[in-house]
């Protein structure tokens, strides 16, 4: 009887020591077994915008958005069975107020008192995602130079792969940057574009319409034969575009 009592006391002491260590962590830390939350630190409760009492005993899977829940259940099952460390992954969770947050999730097996459990550490990656987005925007703008070459004339060289995301950015960036210049003509050189597909064709016609609405005349240079073929496939009239073979030829016409 005394031995059993001492073992129980030691178990309680272990749990208390564990809580004291984890409680000082600034990252959301959840201890769970059979998907049931056994413990969450104060940082985690604050991050999920709930009290500890509300979260302890809850199903840990419910915090994840629906698209990830099946994967998380399988991950927990494997970690519990194999006592293996789960690789770092990115996922999305719900806070108790319904807001969705992108997070990094890291899991590893622990002994919580006498219980074989899993410790999950959740890290908010929203600030990193915002910084990455801003960096991508800056890089995109830097990669889209407007080069004045003559009074009232500038060249925009487009280089690389124009995918749907990139063309969407260009449709926002180019008109905005043009406001800083007093231009009569823009020469867009597309000879450096790697891909000629329907996305590129649609972009060319859209930017052509936008720039003309700004009162600026637009000349394309470097158009390849593939563009004409793709334009026909997309049922667009390539003859409606003002085109020249190269930038030098376009400048010669516009300046003289």
Question: Is the Cβ–Cβ distance between 156 and 247 less than 8 Å?
Answer: no
What CA–CA distances, in Å, run from 183 to 141, 162, 177, 217?
A: 19, 25, 11, 9
pLDDT tier, 33 (very low <50, low <70, confident <90, very high otherwise):
very high
More confidently predicted of 256 and 81: 81
Long-range CB pairs of 50-55 (<8 Å, 24+ gap) are 50/95, 50/96, 54/96
Backbone angles phi, psi at 155, to 5 degrees: -115, 135
Q: Which segments of the chain belong to CATH 3.30.750.24?
A: 130-255
For Cα atoms 243, 246, 249, give the angle at the middle one, nearest 5 degrees: 85
Identify any residues that bridge with 139 across adjacent strands, giving them in sequence order. Answer: none
Q: Is the pLDDT score of 21 beyond 90?
A: no
Provide CB contacts within 8 A for 255, sequence distance 6+: 150, 153
Alpha-carbon distance 153 to 247, whole Å? Answer: 11
For Cα atoms 73, 75, 77, give the angle at the middle one, nearest 5 degrees: 70
28-49 exposure pattern, b = at least 16 Cβ within 10 A, e = fewer: bbbbbbebebbbbbbbbbebbe
Terminal Cα distance for the chain, rounded: 105
Question: Is the Cβ–Cβ distance between 119 and 105 less than 8 Å?
Answer: no
Eight-state DSSP code of residue 234: T
What CA–CA distances, in Å, run from 54 to 31, 41, 48, 245?
A: 15, 12, 11, 69
Q: Which segments of the chain belong to CATH 3.30.450.20?
A: 2-124
What is the CATH code for 2-124? 3.30.450.20
* Range in 34-38, 213-217, 228-232, 247-251 the model is least confident about: 228-232
Q: Is the pLDDT score of 256 beyond 80?
A: no
Q: Render pLDDT for 49-99 as a digit per residue (tens, 0 to 9).
A: 999 999 999 999 999 999 999 999 999 999 888 988 888 999 999 999 999
Q: Does domain 130-255 have CATH number 3.40.50.300?
A: no
Long-range CB pairs of 84-87 (<8 Å, 24+ gap) are 84/109, 85/109
Whole-prediction pTM value?
0.55
Share the mean pLDDT of the chain: 84
Average pLDDT over residues 157-175: 86
pLDDT tier, 197 (very low <50, low <70, confident <90, very high otherwise):
confident
Long-range CB pairs of 42-51 (<8 Å, 24+ gap) are 44/122, 47/95, 47/122, 47/124, 48/93, 48/95, 48/96, 49/95, 49/96, 49/97, 49/99, 50/95, 50/96
Q: Is the pLDDT score of 195 beyond 80?
A: no
């Amino acid at each position: 009887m005394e031995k059993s009592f001492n073992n129980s006391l030691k178990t309680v002491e272990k749990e208390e020591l564990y809580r004291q260590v984890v409680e000082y962590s600034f990252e959301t830390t959840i201890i769970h077994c059979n998907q049931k939350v056994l413990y969450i630190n104060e940082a985690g409760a604050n991050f999920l915008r709930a009290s500890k009492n509300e979260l302890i005993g809850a199903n840990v899977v419910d915090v994840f958005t629906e698209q990830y829940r099946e994967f998380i259940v399988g991950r927990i099952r494997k970690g519990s069975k194999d006592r293996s460390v789960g690789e770092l992954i990115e996922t999305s969770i719900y806070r108790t107020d319904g807001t969705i947050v992108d997070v990094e999730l890291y899991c590893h097996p622990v002994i919580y008192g006498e219980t074989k459990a899993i410790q999950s550490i959740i890290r908010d990656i929203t600030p990193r995602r915002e910084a990455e987005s801003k960096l991508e925007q800056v890089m995109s703008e830097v990669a889209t130079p407007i080069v004045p070459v003559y009074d009232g004339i500038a060249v925009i060289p487009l280089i690389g792969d124009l995918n749907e995301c990139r063309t969407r950015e260009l449709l926002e960036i180019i008109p905005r940057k043009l406001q800083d210049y007093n231009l009569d003509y823009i020469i867009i050189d597309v000879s450096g574009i790697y891909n000629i597909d329907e996305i590129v064709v649609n972009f060319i016609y859209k930017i052509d319409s936008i720039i003309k609405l700004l009162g600026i005349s637009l000349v394309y240079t470097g158009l390849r034969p593939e563009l004409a073929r793709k334009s026909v496939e997309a049922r667009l009239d390539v003859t409606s575009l003002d085109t020249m073979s190269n930038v030098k030829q376009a400048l010669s016409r516009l300046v003289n």
